[in-house]
Structure 1
């Protein structure tokens, strides 16, 4: 297989992606190759190539130089393809079972060839349909614990850690997060998107000085704390699942940031799904059962994460501070508080910001959807303003129940 094509960048199509596969010798026979453009995201082209005879298949993902949701007026760096491939490869060093295998990368063409996960479903869609995944909490908790520990100063030599920080400098995509998660939803800015029926509730957020100060403090942590390598956008649309497996995809927002960020985004999106099932499941008993499962996912994920983080700290910590009695509890306590605030920002931005979630948007009862969104906005606001007073995962879950 070639190591690089050394071509000038140009977007692929269904014909040129087959030509690429031939040059890279990805298949032995090309007479029966079927190509499907399956990308439904905002930033990339995604092709699935399958040999209809042997069944062998691959995914070719290519970054676009602009955001599809807006168009060429919103340019984006192609370097995010390098970030994504490096992140997947780094994760494969400590959690290969939870990321797709990378077969080939080309930074000139901003593309990655990787394992086809068509046997999996996007977690968000599965959760909207009310499907339970018994291993999800353990898998996500394990993945985040290993990701944070093995890429931090707790485990790495300072030189290696700082070299990784440099490798994952991701200013353009971080700026998107800085704006869309931490700034725009709290001000009257054009990127916000919500129906007029929510205007009063949104205006209340925009005039809440204390809320805006807390959100600004969280943004400052995002800007300045290079604690560990993050996925950067770990929502339920970035996770593929089956009943027994969990795969984390799309880490193009990866960078070094505060440890509470990824788990916060996962919890916020589970909470939004919990809220949406007030309308998605009409049968009270089935709804109660499924919402109970979702709250169990949050609790079990946190407990798996914190237990494994402590275990890694105890057995593999190399930083001198890991030998100080009780210091890990101080770190986890701060991480937990940060997580609550970050989750609040994610809940708010997914409700009134640029990128909404299907969980809420697919609710057919418009008036019900509006009322639910008002409650969700209050939930996010409470989490941001009361983060320091919420002391454990059960209290965090109590807020979700209130929705």
Structure 2
């Protein structure tokens, strides 16, 4: 049957490092990227109750290989994680990388070729090797990092300074959303302010997030009694009008890992397996949208494929993460998925309904702004959060009604649209 797995596949274990800066964040400071990846793998193996020798294949993703000097990422990470002589491959789906890896591994298991597969994503967006040393690193200039990021798009369409993601993903979509649904710029500001407060609240409750300071605490630290005054101040400038700096991604270094298995892997397994019920992957190219910047057709295709494969409708979704490099773009995507009603997402954000304790919880790990964004590792971090929520292990930010169905959407530079559907077994 088309678009169906012939055998069920499950997530047995997940691992994720603290997202931060290898040059300064205490939990990861001074680690090589090999060590960073090994830490995520160690957690995933322990969570899945799996010995490395029982892994049949390892899929490793890394986007900006020039920041790691590891073009042969798979072979190096296999050596550092006890997977030498296993089957494996390096792959790249930009910011969708780790979840694309889950689809590849699931097909390998459902075909009968593999019993257990390990998927790893690792990235450094903030530092690069000094000369050729794997141990000594230095800061990547911001403009250089974004130029390398722009390599993810078709260079035939690029301008000399690189294809500029910020106006396209933030300003133009924001203006179109306001015009389409009749929001004033002031209403847009208030909605974005509340959405950022939600993301930062989630980050403050997550010890793995790059930014664990609430928006209110940041405002007070800088000297503002009213956090909304801080929001509209020089400390939160327009990135691409009318979107501001704190409605956008925070680059990070980090790694994530996932162990998946078929039914055979459930023997003697005592944790809660999470079923990979379905997915949809659609590849596009520039331009991202056509007449309506709030609507990306390839996302529609990915959601339709995933919902069909999983046998669900939007009404079945208990928890949603959508790619939120741009907060207004994430609202558009959540509405397109059917999780939020069209034109109402901004209102839902302003009313606090997208919080972990709201009726439409989203991105409870903090999202790309508060949790941070480590390109190839981030999709795995999104899956990590979904699995933890479905197991009821998220502590203070735990969704009260434990999700039975979670949907995770990622954009690989808005070019690789990936939608994963997970269900409690």
Q: TM-score range by the shorter chain?
A: under 0.3
Higher relative contact order at CA 8 Å, sep ≥6: structure 1 or structure 2?
2
TM-score (norm. length: structure 1): 0.28
- Higher Rg: 1
Greater helix percent: which structure? 1
Structure showing the higher strand proportion among its residues:
2
